[in-house]
Amino acid sequence: MSKETMTTSNPGTETEDDDSLASPTPGSEAVEESSPSRSSGSERTVIESRNLDVYYGTEQALQSVDIQIPERQVTAMIGPSGCGKSTFLRCINRMNDLIDAARVEGDLLFQNKNVYDDDVDPVALRRRIGMVFQQPNPFPKSIYDNVAYGLRLQNKTENLDEKVEEALKGAALWDEVSHQLDESGLELSGGQQQRLCIARAIAVDPEVILMDEPASALDPVATSQIEDLIDELAQDYTVVIVTHNMQQAARISDKTAVFLTGGELVEFDDTQKIFENPEHQRVEDYITGKFG
Amino acid sequence: MPRKDYQTQLTDLRENVLYMSEVVMERLRMGLDALEQKDDELAWEVIEGDEEVNQLYLDLEGECIDLLALQQPVASDLRMIAASFKIITDLERIGDLATNLGEYSLDADQDVFPEVDIQELGSLTLDMIEDAMVAYDEESADGCYEIADRDDDLDALCERASEIVVRDLIETELENNTEQEVETLLQDVSRLLLTVRDLERIGDHAVNIAARTLYMVENDDELIY
């Protein structure tokens, strides 16, 4: 996997309209991004799967998953190891394309467009759906260049300093690194590196941020900072987070999806409902530690 | 702490709440007996025994806090702990009210208003507590609703008893009594009205226990206030 595919921004796609998922058209003009207006508390669905099946070779990883993920809320995916939650996350921005044996059936809609349609460019898709991973993965570049990376690839270098500063502030990192922007991102602490990766992701202004256990490698203080940040990010972005930490899901998410063994989405509801009075006994057994 | 121990802790909490309810009900029975028999020794036993009830409350409160802090319970486990946390408060208050009965017994020096059957009211409240705790133990939603219904009957009986006392007092001719006799009568009437009020409140606590149990069993807050 290249470094580029590990981030929100990806090279070679700087000429497309940001709201388009279509494959790039040679010779088209670069279009400055135009953020749609965003209202807080929206229940509008931004991601929807219908009868989604995923196979790795002959093994089925997801079974007929139907889910509607609301805009600008935090949706948590929980479940035991191997239940398919990360597989689902990686379907959203087609990261599973990078796995040869992976096969996807059914529909996965982003803004009502099936991301697996032939005319969808996965690179363009990933620019609108960023991703943050379990292990912080800053590039071996300066803090500044890490954040500016995607913007430069998209030829969005106008007011670059301001954009870098805005992204670092958005990731709650600016105050800690504003005096050392030329230093390597690898010199930062684990928690700071993770926030740098979040800054890199939001610098190109995606609509969705996928997080695959973003705090599991961090200490409690850094975890708390990331959780606070996720809450703030949900003001502007749709956040989908996979976590093994159920208390973390309970703390930070608006909606929770519970996957259980066999890639089955058993229950999806308001987080409060899931953790206070789930509908399904299997979910109750899982979250109370009687199963799994 | 291993999750296996967590399940044991939940079982222990439930059993300890039931044990506390047994202790409190015994104190209430003793308080009623002390009133009926004018038994000062028994009354003192109830009064001094309140310390044990208070300690049980503090121990169980600690168990609930430990479970919340260390195990981060959710769903039915969370509801059981939250309900138990509230129920032990009601049990502790019932213990205090049983102590009041002991104190009334010590102060009473004559029978007044035999037509007010304190023992009957006491028996009804005891039954309500006992049945509320059975509902808690057996996770019975139906039992919870039944307790709430019975409280209306208890309230009506208590109101009727208070009316009898007040009416009789109004109609009593006190001209031939000494000042001391009048003073004693007023104190006894006052104690009797307080006894009726305390028994009515014990019924309310039994309903609280049923309400929290219903929340525990069905996540239903219908009976809470």
**Domain assignment of residue B224, yes or no:** no
Q: Does B4 touch chain A (CB under 8 A)?
A: no
CA distance A258 to A154: 37
- Which residues, at least 6 apart from A117, have a Cβ–Cβ distance to it below 8 Å? none
pLDDT of residue B149: 92
Question: Within a domain: residue A3?
Answer: no
Instruction: Report yes or no on B207 lying in a domain.
Output: yes
A53 located within any domain: yes
- Asked if the C-beta of A267 comes within 8 angstroms of chain B's C-beta atoms, the answer is no
Classify residue A61: in a domain, yes or no: yes
pLDDT of res. B104: 92
Interface mutation target, options B11, B68, B71, B76, chain A, most CBs of A under 10 Å? B76
Percent of chain A whose predicted confidence (pLDDT) is above 70: 85
Looking at residue A261, its pLDDT comes to 87
pLDDT tens for residues B24-46? 999 999 999 999 998 999 999 99
**CB–CB of A275 and B75 under 8 A?**
yes
Q: Are B113 and B185 in contact (CB under 8 A)?
A: no
Residue A12 — left, alpha, or beta (φ > 0 → left; ψ -120 to 50 → alpha)? Answer: left
Cα A11 to Cα B208: distance, rounded to the nearest angstrom: 64
Q: Give the residue-averaged pLDDT of B173-180.
A: 82
| Number of structural domains found in chain A | 1
What residues contact B194, with CB distance under 8 A and at least 6 apart? B100, B104
Chain A residues touching B2 at Cβ < 8 A: none
For residue B161, what are its two tokens? 């008893």
Q: Which domain holds residue B152?
A: 3-218
B172 Rama sector, left if φ>0, alpha if ψ -120 to 50, beta otherwise: beta
User: CB atoms < 10 A from the CB of B16, how many?
Assistant: 16
Residue B132 lies in a domain: yes
Query: What is the domain-level CATH number for residue A271?
Result: 3.40.50.300
- Residue A58 to residue A103: CA distance in whole angstroms: 9
CB contact under 8 A, B74 and A276: yes
Q: Which domain range does residue A168 map to?
A: 43-287
Rounded Cα gap, residues A130 and A201, in angstroms? 6
Determine, yes or no, domain membership for A58.
yes
What number of helices (H) and strands (E) belong to chain B?
A: 6, 0
User: For chain A, how many residues are written?
Assistant: 292
B162 in a structural domain:
yes
Give pLDDT, residue B70. Answer: 84
* Residue B119, domain member (yes or no): yes
Asked whether the beta carbons of B76 and A290 are under 8 A apart, the reply is: no
CA A258 to chain B, closest CA, distance in angstroms equals: 14
Residue at B225 is within a domain: no
- A169 lies within 8 A of chain B by CB: no
Domain-embedded: residue A90? yes
Number of domains in chain B: 1
Is residue A20, in this structure, part of any structural domain at all? no
Q: What's this model's pTM, rounded to 2 decimal places?
A: 0.79
Query: Which H or E run includes A196?
Result: helix A190-203
- Chain B residues 70-99 within an 8 A CB cutoff of chain A: 72-79
**Under-50 pLDDT residues of chain A:** 1-18, 24-41
Cα separation, B48 vs B137, in Å, equals 28
d(CA A219, CA A168): 21
Q: How far is CA B37 from CA B33, B97, B104, B118, B165, in A?
A: 6, 18, 12, 12, 21
Instruction: Show residues of chain A in contact with B7, CB under 8 Å.
Output: 290
Report d(CA B133, CA B151) in Å as an integer: 15
CATH number at residue B100: 1.20.58.220
Q: Per-residue pLDDT tens for B70-85? A: 888 999 999 999 999 9
Does residue A60 lie in a domain region?
Answer: yes
